[in-house]
Amino acid sequence: MDTETEKIYVSELVQVTETTSSVAMEKLGFQRCMEKLKACNVTVDLIATDRHCGIRALMKKEYPNIDHHFDVWHLSKTLQKTLLAKSKTKSCEQPASWIQAVSNHLWWSAHTCDKDPELLLEKFSSVVYHTANIHSWDTCNKFHRCEHPPIREDDEVEPAWLKLDSPAHNALKDIVMDKRLLKDIRFLNRSCHTGSQEVFHGAMLKYCPKRQEFDFPNMLARTQLAIIDHNENSGRQQAVVRKGHKKGQKRYNVVFSKASKKWVIKPIYEAKEYSFIYDLLMNAVAMKIGHLHVLPPVKKDLPQNIARVPKPSKAELVNTLKARFGKS
């Protein structure tokens, strides 16, 4: 995705005030965002979401002209969880060692399929052959052999090969070739992922920590600050070494990943830019001395709480509690 598409354009809070379940709330929030974008004359050509059933049905019914894709990260997480659950069953422990490799293979397949869903499916499902030490086949139309360098028989491979048609290999095959999974993997052919959205959620937590309660104007202002911060800093480049003999080389950090339980390399990005704060401070001073007039936010009619039934009296609840413990 380019920098422009990574920016958050929803400049107002999308309020979901109905007492709905979180699943329905997600759909309602999504729907309101889409309506707001339409009202702002923003044309949406493509959208990437997780595999939320309600949103999937909504996209099909209400937005048939928008190209709907799934986020690679969410699908790879589901795949990992399914493999992990299966590897906890008897005589199927071995696929556990392949979880990270299968997930990496999904990312690679989505990234290198040239937007072709057929090629993507053939590349992804070839992992069934590779895990059994088979690196070429003639059962596909477009992808016929692994793209890694040749492996010699005496090469030590990690993780160990699965025996063809063994319970472990069949278990992995059942998961990888699951019809519903393959149907959804077709929607990864643009290799979309919502990483920038996760970065924005991180910014939201910085400005609107969950442990604190904020009133409506405060919440609105903090959300807007998170959006400004995100938009000012999206599309930062990887930092480079500025001096010495490594000058110009890209910078990385070595960190221990809790997920993969391995040391991994992560790029270091350029420092964040906060010069927008000075404009905000200037405006705050201008407002204070009366040179700038901004209308306060219109407070929407929000319900007092999320309860679906009226609040009983305290005495009534005390009596219920006493009755439960058999006291007069």
Q: How far is the CB of 174 from Zn ion (least distance, A)?
A: 20
Residues near Zn ion (CB under 5 A): 130, 135, 146
Q: Position of tokens 């990260």? A: 73
Q: 121, 112, 98: which is closest to 171 by C-alpha? A: 98
Q: Strand, coil or helix: what is 69?
A: strand
Q: How far is the CB of 135 from Zn ion (least distance, A)?
A: 4
Is the dihedral angle over the CA atoms 61, 62, 65, 69 positive or is it negative?
Answer: negative
Name which of 13 and 140 has its Cβ closer to Zn ion: 140
Q: How far is the CB of 145 from Zn ion (least distance, A)?
A: 8
Name which of 34 and 120 has its Cβ closer to Zn ion: 120
Cα-only R_g, the chain: 26
Name which of 146 and 176 has its Cβ closer to Zn ion: 146
Does residue 267 have a cis bond before it (omega within 30 degrees)?
no
Name which of 131 and 234 has its Cβ closer to Zn ion: 131
Q: How far is the CB of 235 from Zn ion (least distance, A)?
A: 36
Tell me the residue number closest to Zn ion, measured at CB: 146
Name which of 73 and 143 has its Cβ closer to Zn ion: 143
Q: How far is the CB of 234 from Zn ion (least distance, A)?
A: 37
Cα 47 from Cα 55, distance rounded (Å): 11
Q: Which long-range contacts (CB under 8 A, 24 or more apart) does 2-10 make?
A: 2/235, 3/234, 3/235, 6/196, 6/234, 6/235, 7/230, 7/231, 7/234, 8/200, 8/227, 8/230, 8/231, 9/37, 9/40, 9/42, 10/36, 10/37, 10/227
Name which of 128 and 225 has its Cβ closer to Zn ion: 128
Name which of 99 and 227 has its Cβ closer to Zn ion: 99
Q: Which two tokens stand for residue 9?
A: 């354009």
Q: How far is the CB of 130 from Zn ion (least distance, A)?
A: 4
| 231 and 4 Cβ atoms separated by less than 8 Å | no
Q: How far is the CB of 148 from Zn ion (least distance, A)?
A: 6
Q: How far is the CB of 105 from Zn ion (least distance, A)?
A: 10
Cα 155 from Cα 149, distance rounded (Å): 12
* H-helix segments, the chain: 3-6, 22-39, 53-62, 72-86, 99-111, 117-125, 127-130, 167-176, 179-185, 195-207, 216-233, 276-288, 314-324
Q: How far is the CB of 40 from Zn ion (least distance, A)?
A: 48
Name which of 48 and 132 has its Cβ closer to Zn ion: 132
Name which of 127 and 220 has its Cβ closer to Zn ion: 127
Cα 123 from Cα 182, distance rounded (Å): 12
Q: Parallel, antiparallel, or unpaired: how do β-strands 252-257 and 67-70 relate?
A: unpaired
